[in-house]
């Protein structure tokens, strides 16, 4: 026999009526309306009915997708990649096969953000290639056909979303245009209720009755004898108490703090630098030529139409950097052999690495014996996936001293890996414009395989001489600390490091070594 309070009894009766009409599952809002109560008023009753195996609750998440203003404009006026393609087509008809990136940006009439996205898509479909800051036009019929098919599909998708669309899940095409800011997505959670087989059998056999159920025995109920006509709610000592999650820092923040402790214990001092940086400190001081592809709009976030003069105190540095780039100005160095442009060095960007912090530290401190590190955010245009983000952390540092050698850099990598429990480190030769010799260190992720996490090398004389370092060597490294965090915290997707969903965060396993245990 099931004795239910009046509201629970009404819920079961309403569901039975729906069942008799051939409707086995009912939306919560419709169910609440059918018995004349508010949705929130019956949530506790539903929980109790579910616990007694009289109903089943199904939670469904749906997404309402609709074009926003930007998407509507692109659907009406044409996508940036469509406009850039027609610009390149016009240049090709005039016999132009190569064009400077900056000139193409001006010709296209697109914003820098639109241009960067469009150029990346055209490169993906083989319509263009980029070399030494030049864009080459490649109008192969097959590639143009594939690109046209892509445009038709994307425009069709945008038209289908103009009036809104409700979907059960977000596929790759929706995720792609959400990243580009074309759509707004509203998440809608639904709760559906249905009777169990036990409930249907109990209703059929007349085993479900309505009776007042009380949880508190009052003196009045005893003296009046009313207790004889009511149902007392039983205590269920088998019910699990709710888990309590005390306040604590995000697991990734705890990991970063642990890394700081490890590097500090190895004799390093933490230094800081600006997120918005001059190209001078981010690239030029590092002996990276101004026409290098890593300095293009595809790899750097530029600060739009902003410039700021450098302090006059570093005019000497500017002259030395210019000389090194143009003619080497050093024994056995001939430079890059181009005309160095001060205006490019003064452009502001979001730093692409924290090595710019080390450059500032070396310039301020000069020669000596010291170790510095920086653990902070850097920014690079990229497509988010399980191992890449547009904004991530880099752990970077330098070892300065007269007797510092390449072997000390390798020793640091091995010792750092040992502290974090990363296992064996494999090294292979590498190339970076600002270090020689250079190295890449790999550690093995149990599911993703070997991951490159330890790039570094010895700063070249062309980097150190303009900073007035002549008698000391500098070992430098820049570690993708996010990827190491994936290994230590046992996660497969780098995006989970920055999650604000409690469900995701609760699943992250934090080793006792990170917690100080």
Distance CA 70, CA 64 (A): 17
| pLDDT for 305 beyond 90 | no
Kindly list the distances between the CA atom of residue 283 and the CA atoms of 34, 321, 346, 359, 506, in Å, as whole numbers in the listed order.
Answer: 68, 11, 11, 10, 40
Residue 421 confidence (pLDDT): 85
Using one digit for the tens of pLDDT, what is the confidence trace for 417-457? 888 888 888 999 999 889 999 999 988 877 767 888 899 99
N- to C-terminal Cα separation, the chain:
53
- Which of 105-119, 469-483, 490-504 shows the lowest mean pLDDT across its residues? 490-504
In sequence order, which residues have a C-beta less than 8 Å from that of residue 445 and are 6 or more positions away?
A: 451, 486, 487
Task: Supply the pLDDT for residue 443.
Answer: 86
Name the band, by pLDDT with cuts 50, 70 and 90, for residue 404. very high
> What is the domain partition of the chain in residue ranges?
2-54+196-232, 69-183, 251-515
Q: Distance (Å, rounded) from C-alpha 336 to C-alpha 313? A: 26
Q: Which residue has the tokens 């090709």?
A: 92
Q: Taking 80 as the threshold, does the pLDDT of residue 229 lie above it?
A: no
What local confidence, expressed as pLDDT, does residue 262 receive?
93
Instruction: Using a pLDDT cut of 70, give the percent of the chain over it.
Output: 94
Cβ(49)–Cβ(12) under 8 Å?
A: yes
Angle 67-68-70 (CA atoms, 0-180°, nearest 5)?
A: 110
- Categorize the per-residue pLDDT at 277 as very low, low, confident or very high, splitting at 50, 70 and 90: very high
The neighbour count for residue 497, using CB atoms within 10 Å, is 24
Q: Which top CATH class is 69-183?
A: mainly alpha
- Of residues 327 and 261, the one with the higher pLDDT is 261
pLDDT value of position 331:
62
The residue among 303 and 512 whose pLDDT is bigger is: 303
The confidence score (pLDDT) of residue 517 equals 47
Q: Residue 312: pLDDT band by 50, 70, 90 thresholds? A: confident
Neighbours of 126 (CB within 10 A): 15
Which DSSP string do the residues of 167-209 spell out, in sequence order? Answer: ESS--HHHHHHHHTT-EEEEEEEEEEEEE-HHHHHHHHTT-EE
- List CB contacts of 475: < 8 A, sequence separation 6 or more: 398, 399, 404, 405, 406, 408, 409, 412, 456, 457, 458, 459
Q: What is the pLDDT of residues 15-37, one digit of tens each?
A: 999 999 999 999 999 999 999 99
Looking at domain 251-515, its CATH architecture is 2-Layer Sandwich (3.30)
Per-residue model confidence (pLDDT) at position 276: 92
- CB distance 136 to 102 below 8 Å: no
Instruction: State the CB neighbour count (10 A cutoff) for residue 347.
Output: 20
Question: Quick one: average pLDDT of 479-492?
Answer: 84
> Helix, strand or coil for residue 232?
strand
Average pLDDT value for residue range 278-288: 92
Chain segment 96-147, per-residue pLDDT in tens: 889 998 889 888 888 888 888 899 899 989 999 888 788 898 888 888 999 9
Q: Which residues contact 92 (CB under 8 A, 6 or more apart)?
A: 137, 139
Sign of CA dihedral 83, 85, 89, 91: positive
pLDDT at 248: 77
- pLDDT at residue 90 is higher than 50: yes
Q: What is the pTM of this model?
A: 0.55
Report the range of poorest mean pLDDT among 165-174, 394-403, 482-491.
482-491
CA angle (382, 386, 388) in 5-degree steps: 25
SS3 of 428-485: the string is EEEEECCEEEEEEEEEEECCCEEEEEEEEEEECHHHHHHHCCCCCEEEEEEECHHHHH
Looking only at Cα atoms, what is the longest distance across the chain? 108
Mean pLDDT within 266-281? 93
* Ordered DSSP codes for 55-93: EEEEEEEEEEEEE-HHHHHHHHH--HHHHHHHHHHHHHH
Q: Is the peptide bond before 437 cis (omega within 30 degrees of 0)?
A: yes
Q: Is 344 helix (H, G, I), strand (E, B) or coil?
A: helix
pLDDT value of position 516 = 59
pLDDT category, 397, cuts 50, 70, 90? very high
CB 373 within 8 Å of CB 272: no
Is the separation of the CB atoms in 29 and 189 below 8 Å?
Answer: no
Using CA atoms, how far apart are residues 6 and 211, in angstroms rounded to an integer?
Answer: 7
> Residue 497 has what pLDDT?
85
Three-class SS state of 100: strand
């Amino acid at each position: 026999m099931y004795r239910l309070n009046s509201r629970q009894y009404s819920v079961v009766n309403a569901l039975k009526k729906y069942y008799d009409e051939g409707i086995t599952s009912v939306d919560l809002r419709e169910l609440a309306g059918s018995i004349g109560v508010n949705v929130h008023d019956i949530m506790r009753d539903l929980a109790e009915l579910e616990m007694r195996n009289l109903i089943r609750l199904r939670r469904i998440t749906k997404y309402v997708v609709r074009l926003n203003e930007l998407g509507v404009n692109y659907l009406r006026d044409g996508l940036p990649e469509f406009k850039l393609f027609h610009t390149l087509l016009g240049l090709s008809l005039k016999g132009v096969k190569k064009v400077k990136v900056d000139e193409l940006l001006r010709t296209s009439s697109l914003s820098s953000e639109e241009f960067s996205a469009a150029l990346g898509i055209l490169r993906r479909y083989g319509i263009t290639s980029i070399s030494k800051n030049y864009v080459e036009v490649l109008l192969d019929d097959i590639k143009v056909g594939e690109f046209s098919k892509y445009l038709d599909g994307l425009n069709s998708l945008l038209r289908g979303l103009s009036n809104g669309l409700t979907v059960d899940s977000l596929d790759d095409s929706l995720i792609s245009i959400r990243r580009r800011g074309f759509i707004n997505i509203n998440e809608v959670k639904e709760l559906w209720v249905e009777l169990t087989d036990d409930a249907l059998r109990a209703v059929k056999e007349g085993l479900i009755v309505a009776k007042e159920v009380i949880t508190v025995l009052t003196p009045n109920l005893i003296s009046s004898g009313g207790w004889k006509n009511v149902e007392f709610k039983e205590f269920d000592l088998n019910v699990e108490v709710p888990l309590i999650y005390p306040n604590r820092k995000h697991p990734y923040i705890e990991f970063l703090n642990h890394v700081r402790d490890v590097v500090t214990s190895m004799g390093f001092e933490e230094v800081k630098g600006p997120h918005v940086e001059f190209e001078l400190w981010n690239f030029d001081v590092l002996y990276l030529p101004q026409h290098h592809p890593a300095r293009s709009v595809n790899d750097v976030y530029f600060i739009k139409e902003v410039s700021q003069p450098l302090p006059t105190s570093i005019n000497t540095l500017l002259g030395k950097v210019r000389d090194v780039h143009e003619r080497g100005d050093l024994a056995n160095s001939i430079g890059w052999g181009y005309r160095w442009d001060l205006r490019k060095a003064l452009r502001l960007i979001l730093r692409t690495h924290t090595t710019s912090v080390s450059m500032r530290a070396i310039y301020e401190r000069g020669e000596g014996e010291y170790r510095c590190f920086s653990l902070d955010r850097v920014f690079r245009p990229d497509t988010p996936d399980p191992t890449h983000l547009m904004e991530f952390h880099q752990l970077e540092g330098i070892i300065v001293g007269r007797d510092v050698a390449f072997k000390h850099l390798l020793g640091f990598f091995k010792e750092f890996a040992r502290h974090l429990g990363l296992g064996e480190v494999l090294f292979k030769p590498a190339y970076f414009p600002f270090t020689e010799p250079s190295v890449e260190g790999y550690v093995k992720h149990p599911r993703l395989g070997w991951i490159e996490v330890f790039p570094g090398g010895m700063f070249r004389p062309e980097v150190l001489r303009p900073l007035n370092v002549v008698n000391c060597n500098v070992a430098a490294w820049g570690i993708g600390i996010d990827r190491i965090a994936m290994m230590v915290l046992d996660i497969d997707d780098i995006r989970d490091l920055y999650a604000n969903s409690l469900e995701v965060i609760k699943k992250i396993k934090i080793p006792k070594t990170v917690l100080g245990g």
